[in-house]
């Protein structure tokens, strides 16, 4: 069995979409995969309740209780590695995990660490992607699923979705349109990876 560990910081709607598709498409039988744990750096992340309601282990590691970024990442890496099985290292799926990761963490999970970012990378790395797209006058926006590499919001692209930016869009309306697409492309990207592995 190959475990998937999903990292969140907030609402966890991408995580929930992954859980629902994994259930609907029976990833356990098809790919020998299980979404085994959801971890959050914030105790009040809404997504934790959903994970628990689905019988998925939900763990909190509060980054504020660690002396440094390195110490937090090392502790997180240890928790994740508890889900490696003898046959397979766990796949680590960042889903709205709002932390910059240390090179040591990224190296440790290289080739099995994915992220979703709410822009058409390589445009608009970092924060406030929707507002920046509107302010730049973009006619299209979107989301990207990519492998995580040491450089923030970079790395080989696995999936993208494009949405129009409408004349009266606000940050919130554009974010909602993009998020709907995120819920489709993240499960699709992960299913493709599982198919190939
Ligand atoms: C999503 O839009 C995701 O793309 C974004 O945070 C949101 C999390 O929503 N991630 C980033 O900005 C990472 N740089 P969710 O918690 O409901 O899945």
Report the predicted TM-score, pTM, of the whole model to 2 decimal places.
0.97
Confidence of residue 197 (pLDDT cuts 50, 70, 90): low
The 3-state secondary structure of the chain reads: CEEEEEEECCCCHHHHHHHHHHHHCCHHHHHCEEEEEEEECCCCCCHHHHHHHCCCEEEECCHHHCCCHHHHHHHHHHHHHCCCCCCCCCEEEECCCCCCCCHHHHHHCCCCEEEEECCCCCCCCCCCHHHHHHHCCCCEEEEEEEECCCCCCCCCEEEEEEEECCCCCCHHHHHHHHHHHHHHHHHHHHHHHHHHC
Q: Which domains does the chain have, with CATH numbers?
A: 2-196 (3.40.50.170)
141 lines ligand 1 (CB under 6 A): no
Give nearest CA residue, ligand 1 atom 9.
Answer: 96
CA separation, residue 7 to residues 15, 57, 101, 132, 164 (Å): 8, 12, 12, 25, 29
| Residues recognised as catalytic | 117
Residue 196 is predicted with a pLDDT of 86
- Kindly report the protein residue whose alpha carbon is nearest to atom 6 of ligand 1: 96
Q: What is the pLDDT of residue 134?
A: 98
Question: Is 14 near ligand 1, meaning CB less than 6 Å away?
Answer: yes
Nearest-atom number in ligand 1 for the CA of 116 is: 4
Q: Residue range 164-193: average pLDDT?
A: 98
> Residue 3: how many CB atoms within 10 A of its CB?
19
Instruction: Name the residue with the closest Cα to ligand 1, atom 3.
Output: 96
Q: Is the peptide bond before 122 cis (omega within 30 degrees of 0)?
A: yes
- Computed over every residue of the chain, the mean pLDDT equals 97
Give the angle subtended at the CA of 155 by the CAs of 145 and 120, to the nearest 5°.
50
How much is the pLDDT for 1?
84
Ligand 1 center to residue 10 CA distance, Å? 8
Q: How far does Cα 180 stand from its chain's mean position?
A: 15
Using one digit for the tens of pLDDT, what is the confidence trace for 22-56? 999 999 999 999 999 999 999 999 999 999 999 99
**Residue range 93-146, pLDDT digits in tens:** 999 999 999 999 999 999 999 999 999 999 999 999 999 999 999 999 999 999
Furthest C-alpha separation in the chain: 53
172 CA to centre of ligand 1 in angstroms: 13
Output the six-digit token pair for 90: 């766990």
């Amino acid at each position: 069995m190959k475990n998937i560990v999903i990292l969140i910081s907030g609402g966890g709607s991408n995580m929930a979409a992954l859980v629902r598709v994994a259930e609907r498409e029976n990833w356990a039988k098809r790919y020998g995969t299980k979404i085994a744990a959801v971890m959050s750096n914030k105790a009040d992340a809404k997504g934790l309740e959903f994970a628990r309601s689905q019988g998925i282990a939900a763990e909190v590691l509060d980054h504020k209780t660690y002396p440094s970024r390195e110490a937090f990442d090392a502790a997180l890496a240890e928790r994740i590695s508890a889900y490696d099985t003898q046959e397979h290292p766990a796949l680590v799926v960042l889903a709205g995990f709002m932390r910059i990761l240390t090179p040591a963490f990224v190296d440790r999970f290289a080739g099995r660490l994915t992220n979703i970012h709410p822009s058409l990378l390589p445009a608009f790395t970092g924060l406030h992607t929707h507002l920046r797209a509107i302010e730049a006058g973009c006619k299209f926006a979107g989301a990207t699923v990519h492998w995580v590499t040491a450089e923030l919001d970079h790395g080989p692209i696995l999936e993208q979705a494009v949405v129009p930016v409408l004349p009266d869009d606000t940050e919130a309306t554009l974010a909602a349109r993009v998020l709907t697409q995120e819920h489709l492309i993240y499960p699709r990207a992960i299913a493709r990876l599982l198919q190939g592995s």
